[in-house]
Amino acid sequence: MPFLAGYPAGLQAQVRELLATGRLAEYLARRHPEPHAVRTSAQLYAHVQALKQRHLRRAPPLGKVEYDSRLLLDQRALGTLSTVSRVQGARLQAKREIRIAAVFKDAPAAMLQMIVVHELAHLKEREHDKAFYALCETMLPGYAQIEFDTRLHLLLRQQQAEAARRTPAAGPA
């Protein structure tokens, strides 16, 4: 279970049991029933800007925010914050870009909020250290639990994709 590698063995065993009995989807649906309405990159940009304005007013501006279908879960990249430098006349201009994995278009609202908060926190804190997670918790109370639930959601999606690959498609008779 790559998404849960850093968690205690007892917790991983509980998750394995939920997966084996088919109750993980029910658990997640009960904890996070509400979907979000952020479907396009333009809506995502507005959503991220509103959060940034509320929590990180003095952070550098964002040049682009978009859903990215090329971010791969296998590489554990759910979102990225990058700085892109471009030549502007005689000067070099740097712009910050946030890309969120397209799988979050269909994720519950809290999970989209979690990944957005995570990427915004990187505007102030580069490393995943105590200050980083304290900032995330300030911006989104309950961040740690939502991050864990997001890992469970991704694990469930991965299991469902593997099951779909193993099951042969029914062809015409």
Q: Name the residue ranges covered by the structural domains of the chain.
A: 35-142
Long-range CB pairs of 38-41 (<8 Å, 24+ gap) are: 38/105, 38/112, 39/105, 40/67, 41/65, 41/66, 41/67
Tabulate helix, strand, coil % of the chain (nearest 5).
55, 15, 30
**What is the predicted pLDDT for the residue at 84?**
77
Q: According to the model, what pLDDT value does residue 75 have?
A: 55
- Picking from 146, 145, 140, the residue whose alpha carbon sits closest to that of residue 108 is 146
Residue ranges, the chain, pLDDT below 50: none
User: Which pLDDT tens digit goes with each residue over 43-88?
Assistant: 999 999 999 999 999 998 898 999 988 876 655 667 777 777 778 7
- What pLDDT is stored for residue 169 in this prediction? 60
For residue 73, the model assigns a pLDDT of: 60
User: What is the pLDDT at residue 74?
Assistant: 54
Residue 76, pLDDT score: 60
CATH class of 35-142: alpha beta
Question: What is d(CA 103, CA 47) in angstroms, rounded to the nearest whole number?
Answer: 17
Res 170: pLDDT: 55
Q: What is the value of pTM for the model shown?
A: 0.85
Annotate 57-117 with DSSP letters as a single string. Answer: TTSPPEEEEEEETT--GGGT-SEEEEEEEEEETTEEEEEEEEEEEGGGGSSBHHHHHHHHH
Axis crossing angle, helix 109-121 with helix 143-166, rounded to the nearest 10: 120
Q: Give the per-residue pLDDT at 171.
A: 52
- What is the structure's pLDDT at 91? 85
**Average pLDDT score, the chain:** 89
Q: What is the predicted pLDDT for the residue at 4?
A: 87
Q: What is the pLDDT of residue 121?
A: 95
